[in-house]
A and B are shown apart, each in its own frame.
Chain A
Amino acid sequence: MHTKQSKQPSLELPLYQPPAPLHDPSLSQQLGWVAGILFLATALALFLLGQSPAWSSLIGNLSINFLAMVVEALPFMLIGSLAGGLIEVFVPVHLVDRVFGHHHLRSILLAGGMGLAFPVCECAIVPVVRRLLGKGVPLGAAITFLLSGPIVNVVVAASTAIAYSYNWQVVILRLGSGYVIAVILGLVLGWIWQRGQALVPDLETRSVSSCGHEHCATGAETHGSLFGRICHALEHALDDFFAIAFYLVIGAFIAAFVRSTFSLEFFSGLSASPWQAIVVMMVMALMLNLCSEADAFIAAGFRGLLPASAQLAFMVLGPMLDIKLLLMYMGLFRARFIAVAAFSIVVTVFAAMLALHYLFPVSF
């Protein structure tokens, strides 16, 4: 851990990194390469099938859902990449260290509410968290912000209020449970996992005083004029975009396929008991990949049909975990950590909603 005393002003900005030689890809990169080819082959096969009358309706629906998600989410991701690049270059390490570095619990509690100041959706938050991790933000705090940011923010509060006809109980319960669950997960995962075990090698090897950037920045760019620093920030943003955007495309494609083939009736028919209803709505949240600003309108459609706890499960889990996010997290975390984190998120949300259902029964 860096302390304020040990910091030199020159360390506050990313330092020049000598160009790394071309390296052979790791096994996971090779597997990713094969998976990419398989995805491309599948997308191409469906595209060609769509030219036949028998498949045109399904592929037409797929293309509408797929492009709707990508065209809506990609600009948010681009904005998030820009924000991440600016954080990388303009937020000094000592500030991050002062806010997050000294007190584990305080940093996590603070991170849980950061979405109120930085209202970002789940697509934009991934590149922002990537840069915050690179800046030395503790793993627990970064996880907490990653999970709570898309729920605990004013835009989501407003859309939830509108969807539920200004029933503020729903808004408070959604934001409150999102905050508590994110803090719990941040504490537990941050305590159990070391940064080196959790983060992808690219982030893990990056020290808090250097950007680890693959491009060959000159000293003038990192320590020079405002223009030079902005250019440097843009290059960081660009690298983040290329590191994460294709995960978004794959996730959106899978989600669009699910949305184009499964019916809502399929899900609602499975909800005979409260716990079953919660599970069904959680599965729906995982598969539908809705934006956190829009999901309340879908959840509200189940008013009177499903218990409040099941509707809340849908609205709390969706912004934390879905197919698209699962893939985007691969730009931040190792596969093993993602598997453990995903399981923890699902179990915690389920337990919290079940507790809410039986201990504090509400209806809306």
Chain B
Amino acid sequence: MPLRIAQTCLLALWAAFFFWLLSAGQPHLARILHPRLWWLVAAGAGIVLLFFFVNLGRMRRSCATVSLWWQWPALAIMLVPIAYAYPLGQARLNSDTFTRLAMRAQGGFAQGETMPGSLDVSSLNDPVADQGDIPLTRLYAKQERYLGKPVEVVCQLLKDDALPDGLSICYRFTIFCCAADARPIFVFLKPNETLRSQKTDDWLRVQGELSVHENNGLRTLQVQPERVEKVKEPSFPFVF
């Protein structure tokens, strides 16, 4: 019976955790899972809730062959993810993550040529999509459309002394399923007075003309900043 009670409590906690992620915890969920997979959390919540009632029902006729003493580590291990939701509140993928996940090349970083395929191709001809913040994935996917024109991007700043010509990096992370498959995507920012006062990992809105920076055969997009302002972190920090 004690084992069944412990299992039931664990299921109740997991159901509550899933429901919390879907309601008040959505800002946390946005930092770990692609929105098109949020249904998984809803499905998980439903199944765990179902399991909770099933376990509650069989508590009365429990005849577990293993005692709680031998099972409690396994049950406690199931609590570890819930405990780690606490540091998640302050945790961010940042410039440290960028330098670990980006491919460093001579004179900078190499921008992978492949972007996740979840880009909404149907909206590419939408004239409204050319105004305001343009996702970096879109800039790369449709670069011929934006080259030589003013663009606006929202991204995080990375200052690195190893970069040539006083360039800075304006980066985001792109995901296909979840934060565990995050890949950096970036454009270079040409030197600008306003950028001097900004710090690495600050969120910026940058407006300026888009061009191509070529270095040792690496072709990367770059922006000549005309206007730079510090902004709050977007509710969806990833680009898709």
Contacts and interface: CB of A to CB of B under 8 A. Distances in A.
Contact of A23 (B58, B65, B76, B81): B65
Interface stretch (B97-105, B123-131, B158-166, B224-232): B97-105
Nearest to B67: A22
A71 B66 CA distance: 28
Given A68-B179, A163-B114, 20 more contacts: A21-B65, A23-B66, A40-B77, A43-B84, A56-B87, A63-B84, A66-B81, A67-B88, A71-B29, A78-B43, A78-B44, A81-B47, A159-B176, A215-B58, A234-B51, A249-B81, A262-B100, A263-B101, A288-B180, A298-B183
B33 A72 contact: yes
A200 interface: no
Given A264-B103, A265-B103, A304 B113 contact: yes
A184 interface: no
A210 interface: no
B116 interface: yes
A167 to B, nearest CB: 11
Interface stretch (A92-100, A188-196, A289-297): A289-297
A40 B76 contact: yes
28 contacts: A22-B65, A25-B70, A29-B70, A39-B73, A56-B87, A56-B90, A60-B88, A60-B92, A65-B180, A68-B178, A71-B41, A71-B81, A72-B37, A78-B47, A78-B48, A79-B47, A162-B116, A163-B117, A214-B63, A245-B78, A249-B77, A265-B103, A268-B103, A290-B181, A291-B178, A293-B176, A294-B181, A297-B114
B31 interface: yes
From DSSP, what is the main secondary structure of chain B's interface residues? helix
- Enumerate the 10 nearest inter-chain pairs by beta-carbon distance, A residue then B residue, closest first: A36-B73, A60-B91, A162-B117, A75-B44, A68-B178, A19-B63, A68-B179, A68-B32, A263-B100, A300-B114
Interface residues on B, range: 35 or more
A119 to B, nearest CB: 15
Nearest to A158: B117
Contacts of B29: 71
Interface stretch (A109-117, A128-136, A146-154, A235-243): A235-243
Contact of B33 (A68, A215, A234, A303): A68
B67 to A, nearest CB: 6
Interface string A45-71: 001001000001111111111111111
A40 B75 CA distance: 11
Interface in B215-235: none
A50 B86 CA distance: 10
A259 interface: yes
Nearest to A261: B100
A51 B53 CA distance: 37
Contacts of B24: none
B47 A294 contact: no
Interface residues on A, range: 35 or more
Given A264-B100, A304-B113, A246 B177 contact: no
Contact of B84 (A21, A22, A66, A265): A66
Contacts of A250: 77
A214 B63 CA distance: 7
Contacts of A300: 112, 114
Given A61-B93, A235-B58, A305-B103, A294 B177 contact: yes
Nearest to A75: B44
Interface in B167-206: 176-181, 183
Contacts of B74: 36, 242, 246
Contact of A303 (B62, B87, B102, B114): B114
Which of A20, A81, A215, A288 has most chain B Cβ within 10 Å? A215
A272 to B, nearest CB: 16
A196 to B, nearest CB: 20
Contacts of A295: 181
Interface in B39-79: 40-41, 43-44, 47-48, 50-51, 54-55, 57-58, 61-67, 70, 73-78
B31 to A, nearest CB: 6
Contacts of B47: 75, 78-79, 81-82
Which of A68, A70, A82 has most chain B Cβ within 10 Å? A68
A71 B33 contact: yes
A76 B100 CA distance: 29
B207 interface: no
A215 B81 contact: no
A241 to B, nearest CB: 7
Interface in A226-261: 231, 234-235, 237-238, 241-242, 245-246, 249-250, 252-253, 255-256, 259
B21 A71 contact: yes
A282 to B, nearest CB: 18
